[in-house]
Amino acid sequence: MAYPVQRMRRLRAHPALRRLVKETSLSVDDLICPLFIIYGKDKKIPIDSMPGVFQLSVDRLRDEVRDIYALGIPGVLLFGIPEHKDSMGSAAYNDAGVIQRAVREIKKICPELLVITDVCLCEYTDHGHCGVLEGDTSIDNDRTLELLARQAVSHARAGSDMIAPSDMMDGRVGYIRKTLGSEGYTQTPLMSYAAKFCSAFYGPFRDAAHSAPAFGDRKTYQMDPSNAREALNEVKLDIEEGADIVMVKPALAYLDIIRMVKDTFGCPTAAYNVSGEYALVKAAAGRGWINDEAVTMEVLTSIKRAGADIIISYAAKDAARMLGG
């Protein structure tokens, strides 16, 4: 049956009817807000390439955390910028490290807010790679696992509600799961960056987290953007190793992967709307070329429509406001 019997516009004429037939509804319940925690005191440093996002010292977290909670956003994802970096990333698994202190502080300010901590060495190593080196240039997968597990246990001990490993070493989810278990943290959920692509969209994040690799790139551990079947394999392994939530990252350039992961595994699926994706919107909006608010909502809705249950986004606060929070 076609035109004139069928007229698709009939259901588009009335605003209330449009609401009734809406297939995808973005909710504040879907959002996680990333936070950059920097060493030192009394710091709130704007990140040039990410307008509206700041590096905050632990003592400046209060207002930000209260804002996020008041907007109804369920959780925050923490990244640390330590004062000292070394070849082993030892600041990552120091119980007095920036993240460990930030977790304890946020739990004091707002115990109901879910605190998720990123586990990876790139912000803590002097060479900027996500694992420890073997020789001058290659990454030693298995020695890295031990350190990631120490970092995860240290986060759990500080009170982290969920651990999010983003390093892309083989076997890290299983190793972290086993180590957390042997330390008594059997109930700590893992949200693994399961399909994490080697993406040029991470540029602004690396400025913000001071984590650009000092040499080479991340191609030996992060995935080739050309690969979809391999992404499913990564996700499958992480689920088998004990991940509770699996993540696809970036989001916007990988909507097909989000859909495939959701359809194949059906488990809680997160998508990371990364720094470069955020920066593109802000840069164009800053020039008056696009409407910031409309594009932000369209971007987030597309990620939800693709199958994401959880969206990590630097626009979380803006979106929450627009959603009426």
Backbone angles phi, psi at 222, to 5 degrees: -85, 160
The residue count for binding ligand PBG (CB under 6 A) is: 11
Minimum CB distance to ligand PBG, residue 136 (Å): 20
Minimum CB distance to ligand PBG, residue 324 (Å): 26
Rounded CA-CA distance 131/121 in Å is: 6
C-beta of 35 vs 71, nearer to ligand PBG: 35
Q: Are 212 and 128 in contact (CB under 8 A)?
A: yes
Annotate 95-150 with DSSP letters as a single string. TTSHHHHHHHHHHHH-TTSEEEEEE-STTTBTT--SS-EETTTEE-HHHHHHHHHH
C-beta of 60 vs 249, nearer to ligand PBG: 249
Tokens standing for residue 168? 């892309």
C-beta of 138 vs 182, nearer to ligand PBG: 138
C-beta of 122 vs 235, nearer to ligand PBG: 122
Minimum CB distance to ligand PBG, residue 222 (Å): 6
Residue given tokens 């990252």 in the structure block:
249
Is residue 206 near ligand PBG by the rule CB under 6 A?
yes
CB within 8 Å of 174: residues ≥ 6 apart: 240, 241, 242
**Does 249 participate in catalysis according to the annotation?**
yes
Rounded CA-CA distance 46/232 in Å is: 37
Minimum CB distance to ligand PBG, residue 298 (Å): 19
Interaction pattern, residues 4-43, with ligand PBG; x per rule: CB under 6 A = ----------------------------------------
Among 205, 251, 258, 317, which residue sits at the site for ligand PBG (rule: CB under 6 A)? 205
**Does 85 participate in catalysis according to the annotation?**
no
CB within 8 Å of 221: residues ≥ 6 apart: 130, 131, 139, 167, 168, 169
Choose among 124, 118, 132: nearest CA to 92.
124
Q: Are 247 and 223 in contact (CB under 8 A)?
A: no
C-beta of 99 vs 130, nearer to ligand PBG: 130
Among 197, 202, 221, 254, which residue sits at the site for ligand PBG (rule: CB under 6 A)? 202
**Radius of gyration of the chain measured on its C-alpha atoms:** 20
Among 94, 192, 275, 313, which residue sits at the site for ligand PBG (rule: CB under 6 A)? 275
Q: Which of residues 114-133 bind ligand PBG (CB under 6 A)?
A: 118, 120, 122, 130
Is residue 192 near ligand PBG by the rule CB under 6 A?
no
Interaction pattern, residues 77-116, with ligand PBG; x per rule: CB under 6 A = ----------------------------------------
Rounded CA-CA distance 38/43 in Å is: 8
Three-state secondary structure call for residue 79 = strand
Is residue 274 near ligand PBG by the rule CB under 6 A?
yes
Which sequence positions are flagged as catalytic? 196, 249
